[in-house]
Amino acid sequence: MPYIADLKTVEKIVAENDNLIASNLKKNGTWVGESRECVAVVKHFTKVGQTTNWKKGARVKENTRIQPGTAIATFNSNGKYYGHAAIYVSQTAIAITVYDQWNDTPLHTRQIKFKGHGYPANDGDQFYVIE
């Protein structure tokens, strides 16, 4: 069963942060949850629970059944959470759009391209629904 956020609440904060000039985002933006980590925002808005209990669900890429607001993450080869978590917004043939945050960047809108390079957080092919 996927975990789904109420987007009205998320989008209010995201809109305020997205309107900040990039140089002011880190200084004046709003982080959400128990910490500034990516997991904190997903846990805060979806009540998904501890990462040790997360299960790897359906792949995000080309999955038209994923509802906006769904909690998604990257997982290792054993199906355990590894790397990054975000709130799914939408996708095109070239990228997924998410709401995410991390230590030095508050909650904001971000596109993550498919066939990305480097860290799984920057590769849309690596994201799956959290169950």
pLDDT along the chain (131 residues), means of 10: 92 92 85 96 96 97 97 97 98 98 95 90 97 97
* Whole-number pLDDT of residue 105: 93
Tokens of 71: 């909690």
Q: Which pLDDT score is estimated for 22?
A: 76
Query: Is position 84 annotated as part of the catalytic site?
Result: yes
pTM of the predicted protein model? 0.94
Give pLDDT, residue 52: 96
Look up tokens 């990257």; give the residue.
74
* 117 counts as catalytic: no
Looking at residue 29, its pLDDT comes to: 93
Sequence-distant (≥ 6) Cβ neighbours of residue 93 within 8 angstroms:
114
Catalytic one among 44, 84, 108, 117?
84
Q: Using CA atoms, how far apart are residues 50 and 11, in angstroms rounded to an integer? A: 24
Four-CA torsion 20, 26, 28, 30, nearest 10 degrees = 90
